[in-house]
Amino acid sequence: MSTRARWKLPLGTAGVLVLAVGAWLVFGGQAPDTAPEAPPVAAQAPAPPPVFASTPAVPRAKDGGLDLVGAATAQVQAAPQEEAGPYPVDLEALRAKLPGNLYWENDAPTKDPEELRRREGVKAKWNALYGKVLSNEATEAEVHQYYEYRRQVSEDAIAFATTVLQDYGDQLPSEHRGLLELSVNMHRTRLAELPRQESDALARREAHAQRQREWRTGGGRQP
């Protein structure tokens, strides 16, 4: 990676954070009003609509979050070079400010197959643990482990988004600023909900364990 990790953001688009809507007008070849009426001919299939390059889907970060820098990078890769303009976000400067942020571990732009496989493995690991939490099969330590990770995810997402806004907010398109602000609000809401979710998960686990104990002892009642 270069020492100045920057991208070119295509001009003339609705912004990398807006998904393209596939809509266009198809003009048929109609004869002028003054032309004589032609004899009926067999119907021909209409000409296919023009093909436009679709805007790449916005990359999603962990737990459904949106990856601003990854989205910009994906858009640039699909755009003609001559339509590009400078994009202000410098990832190396951000990395120096946020060295331990989970963004670098899980979401920073990369094409390295090994790194992508590693990320899929990390995602699968936490999804499997979440499945155990939902099915009440996780240990108490595993429940705490899962929600501590969720807490770190949201705290790091807030730190990353607020740092980008502080350092580059006045240079970013309004769509990007809006997405970053939305990300901050979303993760703040998640952080506020985590204590209740963790408490509920522990309560469900204990109730499940109690039912298992009662079943093993014939209902948990003495004759």
| pLDDT per residue as tens digits for the range 47-78 | 444 443 344 454 555 454 555 555 555 554 44
For residue 98, which of 147, 1, 167 has the smallest C-alpha distance? 167
Q: For residue 48, count CB atoms less than 10 angstroms from its CB and return exposed for 0-12, middle for 13-18, buried for 19 or more.
A: exposed
Q: Which tokens sit at 32? A: 């002028």
Task: For residue 25, name the pLDDT band (cuts at 50, 70, 90).
Answer: very low
C-alpha span between 220 and 223 (Å, rounded)? 10
pTM over 0.85: no
Q: Which of 47-61, 80-94, 117-131 has the highest mean pLDDT?
A: 117-131
Task: For residue 133, name the pLDDT band (cuts at 50, 70, 90).
Answer: very high
Element (H, E) at 140: helix 140-168
